[in-house]
Amino acid sequence: MSPLHLAVMPDEVLRLLEPRPGQTIVDCTVGAGGHARLLAERIMPGGRLIGLDQDPAMLELARLRVPGLPVTLLHRNFEDLPSVLQELQIGPVDAVLADLGFCSDQLADPGRGLSFQQDGPLDMRLDPTRGEPASSLVRRLHERDLADLFHEYGEERHSRRIARKIVAARQEAAITTTGQLADLVRSCVPRSRGHPIDPATRVFQALRIAVNDELGALERFLVVLPECVRPGGRAAVISFHSLEDRLVKRAFRRPEIWQELTRKPLTASADEAEWNPRARSAKLRAAVNRPQITDGGAEHDS
């Protein structure tokens, strides 16, 4: 089976991470293996790419993309990067990539419950081996907490109205499918004229972020990232909405730790956005881990 997902901004990622023979690189979100393959091809001979994903199904797909390449694939959350490096007995690496969110392959599988365009169980977990499915959140959260969640993670203007409707509906019957939830949201949010976006978009985004604790994992990852990249090594993060990009921007804008390579985030070219619509909302930021400052103020490379 060939993956659906197309790697976003591949040329820009290669230019910013500068993979070279012999290097060790971690792709923290290996997904369908697109970036991983490009990076792994460039670190031969002698290099090693470690690919992490919290979704075992994506690791299987990625495996098909990297035959014969020096790639180690592991089912892990990227917030565990320090312990992954410790277990593999490798120190800080030359480069780290995180391409956040989900893959087209996960979205296209109705069984994962990520899409409001297909009916399936209201699950949304990217790691199906742990955590609480979206149906359970929708069942147990108080009306006010649901509204806050839609407002905060989905920037949904009609959050209170939607939460009220959910609470009324769940008293009649449990909301267990993506179709039920999408119809319910559509029934109480007007489709704005001249705006083709489905009214369910923001609620689905908000629930996915909450179910997978996406912002929490990203925050914890950004805290441990400097210790995982060697001085002079590089990190790049691709984000897909402003809540993520804000965290990445804040983390990289710490000159005592990082030297930014992208003062403004890079975005996909018009060409790429044309053939890969997912790339339209992508923002790529990268930085070099600053060589440590010695007492005398000189930078060294140890």
Ligand X SMILES: C[S@@+](CC[C@H](N)C(=O)[O-])C[C@H]1O[C@@H](n2cnc3c(N)ncnc32)[C@H](O)[C@@H]1O
Q: Which residues bind ligand X (CB under 6 A)?
A: 5, 7, 29, 31-35, 52-55, 58, 77-78, 99, 101-103, 126, 217
Peptide bond into 110 cis (omega under 30): no
Q: Is the dihedral of CA 143, 188, 138, 52 positive or negative?
A: negative
By C-beta, is 31 or 199 nearer to ligand X? 31
What angle, rounded to 10 degrees, do the helices at 201-211 and 214-228 form?
50
The residue among 146 and 228 lying less far from ligand X, judged by its C-beta, is: 228
- Minimum CB distance to ligand X smaller for 77 or for 205: 77
Q: What are phi and psi of 102, to 5 degrees?
A: -130, 165
Distance in Å, CB of 105 to ligand X, minimum: 8
**Closest distance to ligand X from the beta carbon of 298 (Å):** 37
Q: How far is the CB of 64 from ligand X (least distance, A)?
A: 11
Minimum gap (Å) between residue 76 Cβ and ligand X: 6
| Residue 116 CB, nearest approach to ligand X (Å) | 19
CB of 28 to ligand X, least distance (A): 6
- Looking at the DSSP bridge assignments, the partners of residue 293 are 299
Q: Which is nearer to ligand X, 7 or 49 (CB)?
A: 7
Closer by beta carbon to ligand X, 175 or else 225:
225
∠ CA 271-20-40, rounded to 5°? 70
Residue closer to ligand X (CB basis): 242 or 259: 242
Residues 6+ away with beta carbon under 8 Å from 61: 1, 3, 31, 32, 33, 105
Strand spans (E) along the chain? 24-27, 48-53, 71-75, 93-99, 229-239, 258-260, 283-289
CB 97 within 8 A of CB 87: no
Residue 99 φ then ψ, to 5°: -115, 95
Instruction: Identify which of 244, 226, 127, 147 has the alpha carbon closest to the alpha carbon of residue 188.
Output: 147
Q: Which residue is nearest to ligand X (CB)?
A: 31
Token representation of residue 36: 């991983």
